[in-house]
Every structure is written in structure tokens, then in C-alpha cells.
A and B are shown apart, each in its own frame.
Chain A
Amino acid sequence: MLQQYTSVGVFLTVGALFVAVTLLVGRLLRPHNPYPEKLAPYECGEIPVGGGQVRFNIRYYIFALIFVIFDVETVFLYPWAVVFEEIGLFAFVVMMLFIGTLVEGLVYAWKKGALRWV
């Protein structure tokens, strides 16, 4: 059991190391000749106006809230799907009630116009 998750660690480490090693090897080969114009942020050739990390109207804020609700729902769906055949009809009814409650929320948000990209 634990052996399985050793693999997860090994794979993530190898993936991260691959990126690091590639960039380090590249450092031996590539030129390094920075000057201020080259280091300026790209703004279609104009001199950049202001910083890039500006305050920003996150339009998907409401979407993100609904996403969190439905994403938590999917976490419940996985174990439900695995034991579904053992429990049968009861599992089906209960999950449909649960999804129905969430869909009601979705319909409410929809009617309120929260799902419109403005």
C-alpha cells in the first residue's frame, strides 16, 4: 500500500528535477547579455505604462464560488460511484436529492443572472 504512494513521490520529484536539470544544463550553453530594454515587460513595443501586477476586477468571482460548491460535490461522487452497486436504490435516491439541492442553487444563480459574463 505504502509502496504505491512512494511512486507518487518519486514521480513528482523526477518531474520537478527534470525541469531544474534542463534549465541548469541550458545555463552552460546559452548566452547571458541583459540590458534594460531587453528586460522591459513586453507591451507591443511601447514603453510599459505602470506595473503589470495591477488591481484587477476578477470577473469569475461568482463562478469561483459556485465552482467550490460543485467541486466539493464531485469529491462525494467518487466514493458514491464505487459503492453504488452494493447499496443500490437507496444510494441513488440520496445522491439525487443531494445533487437536486445543489442544482436548485445553480438554478437560483442562473435566474439571478450570476452566470452571465459581464
Chain B
Amino acid sequence: MDMFTAMHNGLVQMGVPLWLANLVPPLVKSLILLLFILLNCMFLIWMERKVAGHMQRRMGPMRTGPHGIIQSLADVIKLISKEDIIPSGVDRWVFVLAPIVAFAPAFAVFMVIPFGPTLIAQDLNIALIFIAALTSFVVISFLMAGWSSNNKWSLLGAMRSTAQLISYEVPLVISVVAVALLAGSLSLQEIVEAQRQSFWYILVQPLGFLVFLTASLAELNRSPFDLSEAEQELVAGYNTEYSGMRWALLYLTEYANLITFAAIASTLFFGGWSGPVLPPVVWFLIKVYFFIFLVMWIRWTLPRIRVDQLMELGWKGLLPLSLVNLAFTGVYVLIR
């Protein structure tokens, strides 16, 4: 972005040391993205409650503001003024660090997401590996939170999450590699560019997208794969002992991951920001919000599956399917 180059040059001319001037553009970009994530997550929490409400033939939040639109703001004020309970017997350092390990990588992923032709914080030529690496951190944060809480529900929830996350990561990554194979690149911006020059990859990757969607729902701990926080049997899973703002940060991470998933799905399979007439960023947000709505729709429609079904589906269903898809994609790329 030119604005940031100008900012950088201006700072250097003012006598700011180069290393410090180098830090300023990414810092400004990260703060903008942080604001974007916070506002969107607050909106999404309200949206999820409204969607859930209307799907169950009730209204959802209605009191705070028109149609309860500022309900999330009220919740934030409530949560920040709530007592922060650190139970006795917890492993204090691990307990405190878990939200940081959860949020920081989930936030850093937004760096490589293209919102428009130039509207991207920092494109990396290894963006897909970067995303896969950072989104895996969520396993560590779950284990940290679950183990340190000194609570049996937390431990059980964390163990289940770990089993689920590692089982679905492999098919997820292999379905993503098939897209990289088509585009011949790991950079998200180049993948969008390749789709602009040909067609949306959903047309040749319907199977890949299905695997990606299913595996992502599992990675997001979303229904029908929300076993780790199955309220009826595990209270709340790994975050049972978290309260107040500490809990809110874990919750925020889940919604940030939801946005990440929707952004990656639209970038890899649905042309990202490309589209006619409307500006690119509008197209991108339309696609992102469509996928977010899809996930909510699935959540409030399908019942939860059993843990043994979950493992079977991952290893005996999705993994072979993703490999078959990869082989077919290879053949397609060879003969096209």
C-alpha cells in the first residue's frame, strides 16, 4: 500500500532509525486489523444469537438498541467488570498464558488474508504454510487451558479437542494443497490472481471443498463437531474454569478463527475478492459473511455426532477422500 510506503519514507527522512521505521507500517496495519477483528467478532456474536433465535422461532436479543444490535457491547462491559477467578490448585502460569497462546496466532493469520488487490497486510510466498502452522497453535492452547485448570471437565474437553483437531488437520491440509497445485503457488494473492485468469476453483474442486468444509467445522469445534464443549456432558470443555475477561478472550479467539475459516474458504475456492461491478473488498466481505452464515446455519440445524463416529469420519472418510482428490487434481493439472 502506497500510504504505508509514504509513511515509512517520511519517518526515515525525519531521522527515525531505519529499524524503527520498518516496524511502523506493520504496527499500524496490525492495529487496523485488530480493530476489524474486534468489531466483527462483536457483530458475529450478536448475529449468531439472532440466527439461533430466528431458527428456533424466537427473537434473540431485543432489548439493547434496535433489535439488540448493541447487546455485544453491553456484554463486553459486563465481562470486563466481572471478577476474574483463578481457582485454587491451577497451574497459574499455564492458565494465564493459554489465552495468549490462543489469540496471538489466531490474530497473526489475518496478516496474509487478501481483502483486495492491494488491501493485504503482508503477502507471504508461503502463506498457506503460515496459516496451517499458526492455526495449529490452537491445539496447544486447548491443552494448556484444559490441563492447567485442575478440573476434570476441562481435562476431558481438552483431550477430546486434541484428538479431534489432529484427526482433521491432515485432510484439511491435503485439500488445501490441491488448490495450491492448481494455482502453482502458496501465496493467497497469487491464488486469487490465478482464479481471476481462469475460474473459481470450486468448479474443479467440489470434493476438495467438501472435505475442506467438513474438516474446518471440526477444526473450529463447531457443531456437528462441537464435542469438546458438549454442554450436556462436559459443562463447557477446556474453558470451564475461565471466567470474566479471560474467558471472553478465548471466546473471541473462536470467532476470530471463524472469520479466518470463512476468509480462506472464499479465497481458495470462490475467487477471493474478485467479482464484477462492486469493489473488491465488498465482494470479499459478502463471501466471508456468506460462509459465516453457512457455519451458523449448520450449527443450529445438525445434531452433534458421537466421538467414535467423529474419529471414523476423519480417518476413514475424509483422509482417503482428500488423497483421492489430490491425485485427481494432479492428473487434471498434468493434462490441462
Interface contact B147-A63, CB-CB below 8 Å: no
Q: Enumerate chain B residues within 8 angstroms of A42, measured Cβ to Cβ.
A: 87, 151, 153, 235, 240-241
Measured CA separation A82–B162 after assembly (Å): 30
Distance in angstroms from A98 CB to nearest chain B CB is 11
Taking A52-B150, A63-B311 as contacts, is the C-beta distance between A71 and B26 under 8 angstroms? Answer: no
Interface contact B30-A53, CB-CB below 8 Å: no
Q: What mask results when residues 1 to 36 of chain A are scored 1 for a CB within 8 Å of chain B, else 0?
A: 001101110111111101110110111011111101
Q: Enumerate chain B residues within 8 angstroms of A54, measured Cβ to Cβ.
A: 152, 155
Measured CA separation A77–B326 after assembly (Å): 10
User: Which chain A residue has the least Cβ–Cβ distance from B236?
Assistant: A42
Q: Which of A10, A26, A88, A95 contacts B30 (CB 8 A)?
A: A10
Is A43's CB within 8 Å of the partner chain B?
A: yes
Is chain A's interface secondary structure helix, strand, loop, or mixed overall?
A: helix
- In B293-334, the 8 Å CB interface with A consists of 307-308, 310-312, 315-316, 319-320, 323, 326-327, 330-331, 333-334
Interface contact B88-A39, CB-CB below 8 Å: yes
Distance in angstroms from A115 CB to nearest chain B CB is 5
Taking A22-B245, A78-B186 as contacts, is the C-beta distance between A34 and B85 under 8 angstroms? Answer: yes
Q: Which of B174, B184, B245 contacts A23 (CB 8 A)?
A: B245
Distance in angstroms from A96 CB to nearest chain B CB is 6
User: Which chain B residue has the least Cβ–Cβ distance from A95?
Assistant: B330
Interface contact A12-B104, CB-CB below 8 Å: yes
Interface contact A81-B147, CB-CB below 8 Å: no
Measured CA separation A6–B29 after assembly (Å): 12
Measured CA separation A13–B38 after assembly (Å): 17
Chain B residues touching A, range: 35 or more
Interface contact B89-A14, CB-CB below 8 Å: no
Interface contact B241-A19, CB-CB below 8 Å: no
Distance in angstroms from A93 CB to nearest chain B CB is 10
Q: Which of B83, B151, B308, B333 contacts A32 (CB 8 A)?
A: B83
Q: Enumerate chain B residues within 8 angstroms of A60, measured Cβ to Cβ.
A: 159, 162-163, 166-167, 311
Interface contact A10-B83, CB-CB below 8 Å: no
Q: Enumerate chain A residues within 8 angstroms of B81, measured Cβ to Cβ.
A: 26, 29-30
Interface contact A41-B334, CB-CB below 8 Å: no
- 28 A-B residue pairs with CB within 8 Å: A8-B111, A12-B107, A14-B30, A14-B31, A14-B107, A15-B30, A15-B104, A19-B249, A29-B81, A32-B84, A36-B88, A38-B85, A43-B151, A53-B147, A56-B159, A60-B163, A60-B311, A67-B167, A70-B319, A74-B174, A81-B178, A84-B181, A89-B334, A95-B330, A96-B330, A110-B315, A115-B315, A117-B312
B contact set with A: CB distance below 8 Å: 22-23, 26-27, 29-31, 33-34, 80-89, 91, 99-100, 103-108, 110-111, 121-124, 126, 128-130, 132, 147, 149-155, 159, 162-163, 166-167, 169-170, 173-174, 177-178, 180-181, 184-186, 235, 240-241, 244-246, 249, 307-308, 310-312, 315-316, 319-320, 323, 326-327, 330-331, 333-334
- Can you add 19 more A-B contacts, CB < 8 Å, to A16-B104, A117-B312? A16-B103, A20-B100, A30-B81, A30-B245, A42-B87, A42-B151, A52-B150, A53-B91, A53-B147, A56-B155, A56-B159, A63-B315, A67-B167, A67-B170, A71-B169, A71-B170, A74-B177, A92-B331, A99-B323
